[in-house]
Chain A
Amino acid sequence: MKPSANRSLISRFVRENATTMTLATIFMAVLAVFGLILGDRLLSVGTFQSIAFQTPELGILGLAMMLALLSGGLNLSIISTANLCALTIASVLQFTIPWGDAGSVLWLTWQVGAVAAGLAVAILIGLLNGFIIAYLGVSPILATLGTMIACKGLAIGLTRGNVLSGFPDPIVAIGNGTYLGVPLAFLLFVALCVFVSVVLRRSSFGQKVYLVGANEKAAQFSGIHVKRVLLLTYALSGALAGCGGLVMMARFNSANASYGESFLLISILAAVLGGINPYGGTGKVSGLFAALLLLQLISSALNLMNFSQFLTIAIWGALLIGVSALRSGTGIFDRLHLFEFWRAKSAVSENP
C-alpha cells in the first residue's frame, strides 16, 4: 500500500469519526482537569464502576431516540413506553403465580416470559407510532407527543399512580449485578449498541433508515418502501425503549408510571451531542456512546466535588450548545477553525 493511500485512509477515518474523536478529546481533557483537581477520588475503579452503572438507563433510551432522529423524526414517547413496558413486566411478575421453584429453569422461563410480554407492549406502542407517522402522515413530534400522553395516562389509570415493587433476584440483578466487576446493565447496553450499530451499518434496513432520514422524497423515488421503513424504525425504537424500561425497573427494584421523565429531553441532548443530526440522515452509535460517557464523567466529577446535580444539567446544556457551535463551524466559534483545519488536511491528502 502506498503511503499516500494509507494517509487518505486515516484522513477518511478522521473525517467520518470527527464527532467521536472530538468528544473523546473533550473526554480526555475533562478527565485530565478533574483528575488533577480530585486526584485518586476520581481516578479510581469505583468512579468508573459508578459511571458504568449510571450510563445504561440513559444510554439505552438514547439509542431509542437516536433511531427516530436518524429517520428524520423524533420519539417523545420513549419514557412512557419504557414505563408501560416496566409496569407490564412488573404486573406479570406480581399477579401471576410463579412457575416452578425459585432457581429452577421453569422459574427463569416465567421471568423471561414476563420480560417478553413487556417488550411486546413496547413494540406495539412503537408500531402504533410508526403507523400514525408513516401511514396517516402525522409529523413525528405530534404523533409521539400524543402517544406519550396517552401511554402515560394509561399507565397512571391502570396503576392509579401506585408503585409496583419487589421483583425476583434475576430481574434485580440486571440492574444491580456485576460480571467480573462490570455491571450487567452496562454489558446489556454495550450489546444493544453493537446490535444497533450492526443493524444500521450492515443491514439494508439500516441503510434505508439513513436514506429516508437524509431525503425522504429521494428515498421514495429510488424505490424504497419509505412507509415500511418508518414503521419498522419506530417499532425498533419502541423495543429499545422497552429495554430501557427493563433496566430502570431492575435498578430501582420498582416500576411506576412517571419514572425517569427527566431522561426524555436529556436523551435528545445526548444524541445530538453525539453527532446525530436532528434533521436526520447522519450519526453513529459510537458518537452517542462517547457523548454518554462524557456526560456521565462530568456528572460523576461534579458529584465528587459536592456540586448539586442541577449544576450538572446546566453544564450539560451549555456543553451541547458549545459543541454544536464548534460543529456548525459558523457563528461564535468561527475563529477556532478546528474543523476547517481537519477538512483542509484531508482535502490536501486526497488531491496531492
Chain B
Amino acid sequence: MPKTIQRWTRSHEFWLLAVVIVLSMFLTAATDSFLTLQNLFDLLTSTSFAGILAAGLLVVLVFGGIDISFTAIASVAQYVALTIAKTYPIGWFGVFFVACCTGILCGLFNAVIIHKVRISSVIVTISTLNIFYGLLIYITRGDYITSLPSYFREGIWWFEFTDSNGFPYAINFQALLLVVAFFMTWVLLNKTNIGRQIYAMGGNEIAAERLGFHVFGLRCLVYGYMGFMAAIASISQAQLAQSVTPTTLIGKELEVLAAVVLGGASLAGGNGSVFGAVLGVMLIAILQNGLILLGVSSYWNQFFVGCVILLAVSATALSQRRRHAGLAS
C-alpha cells in the first residue's frame, strides 16, 4: 500500500492536483466570488468547448499522433448541422447525428491521408486544417448563421433551482457534455481492449504492428474519435454563443494542445491520463477565472497562462531527467 501511495505522490497528476488545490484555496480566500455555485457553473460552461476537445486530443496524443485540424472540423460540423437544422425539423438528435457524422468523416479523412501518404501527422493535419477551413469559408462566404431553431436556442436544463439571492441555477447541457466526454474517453482508454492497444501503439508503433495490431483500424478509430469530439464540442459552443460564426473557432487549437500537455500527455505518445487532462484544463480555466476575479486586467491573462505552461513543462522535463539519472546510477 505505501508503495502505491509513493508512486502516486511522484506522479505528474499529484503535483498538478496540488497546484490546482492550492490555487483554488488561495482564490477562495482572496475573493468572495470564486467559491460560489454561480462562478463554478460559469467556469464549467465556459470551459466546455476546450475541455471536450481536450478529451479527444488526449486520445490522439496517447496514440502517438497529433491533430491540429480539430478546430476546422468543429467549424465544419457545426455549420453543416445547423444549416440543415435551420430548414428541416431534425430536432436535437438530428443536430447531433449530422454534426457527429460530419466530424467523424473529417477525422477519417485525416487518418486515411496520414496512413497512405506516410508523412508526419502534424504536417497532414496542418494541411487538412487549411483544406477544411478554406473550403468552408469559400463555400459559405463566411456568412454567420443567426436564425437557429427555437429548441436549440433555449438549450436543455436539468435540476433547476434558485439560490438565496434569487439567481437561477441549473445543470446545463454544456456541463453535461463536458462530463460525458471525459467519462467516455476514460472508459475508452482505461476499460477497453482498444484503449490498451492505443497506449501500446503510442509506446512503440513498430512493436505493436509486429504483434499483429491492426494499425490502420486503430488510426481510423483515434482520428474518427477526435472528429466526433470536435463535433460535440462545436454543438456545445454554438448553443452557448447562440450563433454559428465559421471563423471564430480557428486559432484555438494550440491552446487546447497546451492544456492537454499541461496534463502530462507526452507528444511522443504512450503517455497521458484522462485525470491529468482534466486537471490541465481545470488549471488553465481556474487561472484565467481567478485573474479576472482578482481584478487583474484581462489583457494580462495570456501572459500568465504562458508562464504557467513554461514553468510546468520545464518542471516536468527536469523531474524526468532526474528520474532517468536515478535509474542510470
Contacts and interface: CB of A to CB of B under 8 A. Distances in A.
A146 B126 contact: no
Interface in A146-168: 146-154, 156-157, 160-161
Given A154-B303, A308-B138, A138 B313 contact: yes
Contacts of A157: 297, 299-300, 302-303
Interface residues of B, number: 51
B117 A136 contact: no
Given A154-B303, A156-B303, A139 B118 contact: no
Contacts of A153: 300-307
Interface string A240-278: 000000000000000000000100011011001000001
B129 A317 contact: yes
Contacts, number: 163
Given A157-B303, A308-B141, A324-B117, A318 B131 contact: yes
Contact of A156 (B135, B268, B302): B302
B27 interface: no
A315 B301 contact: no
B254 A145 contact: yes
A97 interface: no
A151 B131 contact: no
A49 interface: no
A321 B306 contact: no
A147 B131 contact: no
A312 B255 CA distance: 26
Nearest to B136: A310
Interface in B277-317: 297, 299-307, 309-310, 313-314, 316-317
A330 interface: yes
Given A143-B313, A331-B116, A152 B134 contact: no
B127 A269 contact: yes
Nearest to B253: A265
B306 A146 contact: yes
Nearest to A312: B134
Contacts of A145: 254, 257-258, 261, 309
Contacts of A321: 113, 117, 124, 127-128, 131
Interface string B313-327: 110111011000000
A77 B96 CA distance: 36
Nearest to B318: A136
Interface of A is mostly: helix
A236 to B, nearest CB: 21
B25 interface: no
A328 interface: yes
Given A153-B301, A153-B304, A261-B251, A317 B134 contact: yes
Contacts of B307: 146, 150, 153
A62 B157 CA distance: 49
B187 to A, nearest CB: 28
Interface string A324-338: 110010111000000
A329 to B, nearest CB: 9
Contact of A332 (B117, B251, B300, B310): B117
Contacts of A149: 254-255, 258, 302, 305-306, 309
Contacts of A154: 303, 306
Interface residues of A, number: 51
Nearest to A149: B306
Contact of B306 (A141, A148, A320): A148
B120 A279 contact: yes
Given A138-B317, A278-B122, A332-B116, A161 B68 contact: no
Given A153-B304, A279-B120, A317-B134, A137 B127 contact: no
A344 interface: no
B199 interface: no
B133 interface: yes
A150 B306 CA distance: 4
Nearest to B309: A146
A269 B129 CA distance: 11
B19 interface: no
A314 interface: yes
Nearest to A308: B138
A142 interface: yes
B134 to A, nearest CB: 3
A316 interface: yes
B170 interface: no
A6 B314 CA distance: 53
A92 B96 CA distance: 53
Interface in A216-232: none
Contacts of B305: 149-150, 153
A265 B299 contact: no
B136 to A, nearest CB: 8
A160 B301 CA distance: 11
B258 A328 contact: no
Contacts of A308: 137-138, 141
Interface of B: 68, 113, 116-120, 122-124, 126-131, 133-138, 141-142, 251, 254-255, 257-258, 261, 267-268, 297, 299-307, 309-310, 313-314, 316-318, 320-321
Given A137-B320, A265-B129, A308-B138, 13 more contacts: A138-B316, A139-B313, A142-B313, A149-B258, A149-B309, A151-B306, A154-B303, A157-B300, A269-B126, A272-B119, A308-B141, A320-B123, A321-B131
9 contacts: A138-B314, A147-B310, A149-B255, A157-B300, A268-B126, A269-B130, A320-B123, A321-B117, A321-B131
